[in-house]
Chain A
Amino acid sequence: MVEPNAPQDGVRAETAVEIVGLHKWYGDFHVLRDINLTVMRGERIVICGPSGGGKSTLLRCINHLEDWQRGRVVVDGIELTDDPKHIVAVRRDVGMVFQQFNLFPHLTVLENCTLAPIWVRRMPKKDAEELAMRYLARVKIPEQAQKYPARLSGGQQQRVAIARALCMSPSIMLFDEPTSALDPEMVKEVLDTMVELANDGITMLVVSHEMGFARQVADRVIFMDEGQIVEINEPKAFFAQPQHERTRLFLQQVLR
């Protein structure tokens, strides 16, 4: 049993995420089947696979947006149980970027970024705004800070979403198909931002079909199908010699 307050000791666990024997059902549908995965601190992982394969569900278990019926998920040394304290503690430390951006439309870009630092971290407003401007500059849209999200392009919105997550100084970032809802000409700007982030050494789990991105930054690529992890490998080997028949078929489809 891992102590829930372990990360506060200053010595961070070497393991960022540990998933053991995870099973999840939607009604009768067995959506996650016996998932075992250990992610080391600083590791960058890309999860791919056909839709409906459980990739997003797995990702969403890591910050407990989904619950599960069997198995264990330990994030940053905190075991996720039904205890809301543990859930909130994990969520403060895990940033998430969604396919549909999910920016708050009634708040400006700046307010989107400062909301959680102010109301979760209890940071003074001025400090939160400074921090937000720093991250907005990092995703290269500081000039949009006073606008409402509806005025921004999809790519800009997704970069704001990344900045918003970063403002909580997470140690782990989850990306749930961050470029799938974007027009083709905006995919690159978001991927560039993510590559930069990856180079900074933050732990990343990315559900994506961007195989170029996987090749460039991933430490490991995971292929999921029918709720199972079918194959895990380093990107070079993964793309050069996929071991499993299903992986080969999938790669033929997406790399065509």
Chain B
Amino acid sequence: MAATAERNYLRTAPAERLPSPAERAGMFGWLRENLFSSRGDIALTLICILFIVWAVPPLLRFFLLDAAWSGNDREACLASPQLPEPGACWAFVRVWFSYFVYGFYPLFERWRVDLFFVALAVGIGWLAWLSAPRRDLGAVYFFIVLPALSCALLSGAPRLGLIDIPTALWGGVLVTIVVATVGIVASLPLGILLALARRSELPVVKFIAVTFIEFVRGVPLITVLFMASVMLPLFVPERLSPDKLLRALIGVALFASAYMAEVVRGGLAAIPRGQYEAAQALGLPYWRMMALVILPQALRVTLPNIVNTFIGLFKDTTLVFIVGIFDFLRTIEAARADPRWATPVTSVTGYAFAALFYFICCYGMSRYARNVETRLARAHRR
């Protein structure tokens, strides 16, 4: 009897929807689930709390509470009877700040650099804000107007009354931003072209792309920079060889584009063949198929890796100091050797300031990319 009843079961009343159990709700539930769910978790949580208690107060003390915020020389940052263990010497950063930003850029022309920063910020904001008006105009501005404007502003256009400023005088944040921006902006399209070339069915195109990518990837950036700045002048007469900064820019851009090519190639490989076939079957020629169907998907897949490459590139720009270009980190290096500011905490403060700058820039890129990722993921499941 019982066996038959089990085999032929028929639900007569619908199963009720119940709220999720109380121990999973509220802050207490969250704590329990995330921090104290097992013995191992409890131990880890306690260790982390102990670490925070041990590490954070001394850091706060050094960088904020005991730090010297103003002063005109090392006296402000030396140990004194009131403060036997002095904190960070922010006064040093304050005094040297304009050098960190502009390098040796002539004092009365620095408004040009400021204007460049503003113009760049407008361009980045226009493109980065996904629902901004007329983003097509934004792209024209960023990729055509801005480079011309920056070139005229920074290095000079005598016809417009802007005197020439040799790049040897540029320095600091200015150089870092210029090198990073040019590297980033040039490496993406170049990388895409190289990736497409590497997947090309034409043997010559493919061979050139593979050779270039593998050669550049097999060589350290320092070598590329050395070749650009030391070896090139040996073969090309001085007056024909381009500017030192320009050579470094080209080196960085080519170097980054080889890496970008491999990233993009990974994305292209992730697109199913059916997508190519569907686009071809609709009659889309190669470039339109790539631009409208394949690349939008491939770039979306690789967005985290692309940003990863950008971040790597941003930090790699510090290597241009090796060919005598005064990027941001190099200006800090130079300033901390200043005997007027020779204190035990000067170097630490300088490097902490550099770390803060690089962290803000890189973390900003990373956060922005994650925003775009979640936004795209959400949109395409609408």
Contacts and interface: CB of A to CB of B under 8 A. Distances in A.
Interface string A107-139: 000000001100110000000000000000000
Nearest to A117: B282
A41 to B, nearest CB: 20
B179 to A, nearest CB: 33
A151 B282 contact: no
Contacts of B293: 104, 115
A98 B282 contact: no
A33 interface: no
Interface majority SS (helix, strand, loop, mixed), chain B: helix
Contacts of A96: 277-278, 281
Nearest to B380: A148
A150 B282 contact: no
A84 interface: yes
B285 interface: yes
Interface residues of A, number: 28
A102 interface: yes
Given A119-B288, A168-B283, A106 B296 contact: yes
Nearest to A85: B285
Contacts of A88: 283, 285
Contacts of B297: 104-106
Given A102-B274, A147-B382, A150-B380, A65 B282 contact: no
Nearest to A119: B288
B37 interface: no
A125 B100 CA distance: 51
Contacts of B381: 148, 150-151
A80 interface: no
Contact of A120 (B274, B275, B284, B379): B284
Interface in B309-366: none
A164 B283 contact: no
A106 B284 CA distance: 17
Contacts of A63: 280-281
A95 B281 contact: yes
Contact of B382 (A65, A120, A148, A165): A148
B281 A84 contact: no
A104 B289 CA distance: 11
A102 B278 contact: yes
A103 B288 CA distance: 16
Given A115-B292, A148-B382, A91 B274 contact: no
Given A148-B381, A150-B381, A102 B283 contact: no
A151 B382 contact: yes
Interface string A183-208: 00000000000000000000000000
Nearest to A97: B281
Contacts of A98: 274, 277-278, 281
B274 A115 contact: no
A164 B293 CA distance: 14
A100 interface: yes
Nearest to A89: B283
A72 interface: no
A215 interface: no
B300 interface: yes
A98 to B, nearest CB: 6
Contacts of B283: 88, 91-92, 116, 120, 168
A5 B280 CA distance: 21
Contacts of A95: 281
Interface string B262-284: 00000000001011011111111
A164 B284 CA distance: 13
B236 to A, nearest CB: 41
User: Which of A104, A150, A151, A165 has the most chain B CB atoms inside 10 A of its CB?
Assistant: A104
Contacts of B274: 98, 100, 102
Contacts of A65: 277, 280-281
A147 to B, nearest CB: 6
B295 to A, nearest CB: 10
User: Which of B282, B284, B296 has the most chain A CB atoms inside 10 A of its CB?
Assistant: B282
Contacts of A147: 382
A196 to B, nearest CB: 21
B275 A164 contact: no
Nearest to B297: A106
A91 B282 CA distance: 6
Interface string A55-88: 0000000010100000000000000000010001
B285 A103 contact: no
A27 B291 CA distance: 32
Nearest to A116: B282
User: Which of B275, B278, B279, B297 has the most chain A CB atoms inside 10 A of its CB?
Assistant: B278
Given A91-B280, A95-B281, 16 more contacts: A65-B277, A88-B283, A102-B272, A104-B279, A104-B293, A105-B297, A106-B297, A115-B292, A115-B293, A119-B284, A119-B288, A120-B283, A148-B380, A151-B381, A151-B382, A165-B282
Task: Give 3 closest A-B pairs by Cβ, nearest first.
Answer: A102-B278, A116-B282, A102-B274
6 contacts: A84-B285, A91-B280, A96-B281, A100-B274, A120-B288, A165-B281
Interface of A: 63, 65, 84, 88, 91-92, 94-96, 98, 100, 102-106, 115-116, 119-120, 146-148, 150-151, 164-165, 168
